[in-house]
C-alpha cells in the first residue's frame, strides 16, 4: 500500500509538471503551430525544467550539499532547489521562450514562478508547504483557464487532473510528508497566482 501511494508522489513530482503543462497545451493549441515549433518548444521546456534541475540535484547530492532524497524533505535544503527553479522559470519565460508564440503557457510559467517565490518565503518563516500539491494545483488551474480561454470544455481532462490532485494530496498526507494545513497552503499557493494572472491579463 505504501509503495502504491508513494508512486503518485513520484509520477506527479514537481519537476515533471511544466512538461505535462506544455503537452496539455499543445494537445489543444497544436493547430496554431508548425510541428517543428511544437517539437522545439517541448524540448526547451523539458531541458530547462526537468533535465537541468535533475542534473543539478544529482550534482548537489554528490557534493553532499543535499542529503535528502529527490523529495527533499528537509526545510533548509529546500531553499536552494527552489531558488534554482525560480531562476530557471524566469529564464524560460523571459529568454528561452521569448521568440515562441506560446502566450498562454508563458502565463502558466509566470504563475508557477510566483508559486515558488511564495513557497520560498514560507520556508524562510519555517513553513514547509506542499510543493507537490502546489504544482499539480497550478497545472489544474492552467488547464481549466486556458480551456475557457479557447472556449472549450475539457471535462474528462479536468476530472482526471482533479483525481490526480486528490491522489497527490492523499499520498503526501499518508506518507506524513505534510500536515493538512501544509497541503491546503500548497493548494492555495498553486491556485492563486494562476487565477490572478489569467483574470487580469488573459481572460
**Rg (the chain; Cα; Å):** 16
> What is the C-alpha to C-alpha distance for residues 105 and 26, in angstroms, rounded to an integer?
9
Render pLDDT for 129-182 as a digit per residue (tens, 0 to 9): 999 999 999 999 999 998 888 777 788 999 999 999 998 888 888 877 788 899
Global pTM value? 0.91
Question: Grid coordinates standing for 39?
Answer: 517539437
Residue 78 has pLDDT above 60, yes or no: yes
Residue 64 confidence class, pLDDT cut points 50, 70, 90: confident
> pLDDT tens-digit profile of 21-42?
999 999 988 888 999 999 999 9
Express each pLDDT in 153-168 by its tens digit: 788 999 999 999 998 8
Q: Could you tell me which residues come within 8 angstroms of residue 15 by beta carbon, excluding any fewer than 6 positions away?
A: 49, 50, 53, 54
CA distances from 75 to 52, 91, 126, 178 (A): 22, 25, 8, 12
* pLDDT tens-digit map of 106-126: 999 999 999 999 999 999 998
How far are the Cα atoms of 72, 98, 117, 158, 164 from residue 43, in angstroms, in the given order? Answer: 26, 15, 25, 25, 24
Amino acid at each position: 500500500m505504501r509503495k502504491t501511494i508513494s508512486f503518485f508522489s513520484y509520477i506527479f513530482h514537481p519537476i515533471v509538471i511544466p512538461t505535462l503543462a506544455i503537452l496539455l497545451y499543445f494537445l489543444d493549441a497544436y493547430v496554431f503551430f508548425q510541428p517543428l515549433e511544437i517539437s522545439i518548444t517541448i524540448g526547451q521546456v523539458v531541458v530547462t525544467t526537468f533535465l537541468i534541475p535533475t542534473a543539478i540535484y544529482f550534482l548537489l547530492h554528490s557534493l553532499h550539499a543535499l542529503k535528502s532524497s529527490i523529495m527533499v524533505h528537509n526545510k533548509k535544503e529546500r531553499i536552494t532547489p527552489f531558488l534554482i527553479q525560480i531562476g530557471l522559470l524566469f529564464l524560460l519565460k523571459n529568454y528561452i521562450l521569448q521568440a515562441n508564440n506560446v502566450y498562454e503557457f508563458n502565463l502558466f510559467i509566470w504563475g508557477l514562478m510566483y508559486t515558488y517565490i511564495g513557497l520560498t518565503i514560507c520556508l524562510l518563516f519555517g513553513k514547509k508547504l506542499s510543493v507537490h500539491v502546489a504544482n499539480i494545483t497550478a497545472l489544474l488551474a492552467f488547464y481549466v483557464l486556458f480551456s475557457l480561454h479557447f472556449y472549450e470544455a475539457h471535462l474528462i481532462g479536468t476530472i482526471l487532473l482533479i483525481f490526480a490532485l486528490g491522489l497527490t494530496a492523499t499520498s503526501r498526507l499518508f506518507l506524513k510528508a505534510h500536515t493538512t494545513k501544509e497541503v491546503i497552503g500548497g493548494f492555495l499557493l498553486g491556485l492563486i497566482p494562476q487565477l490572478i494572472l489569467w483574470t487580469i491579463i488573459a481572460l
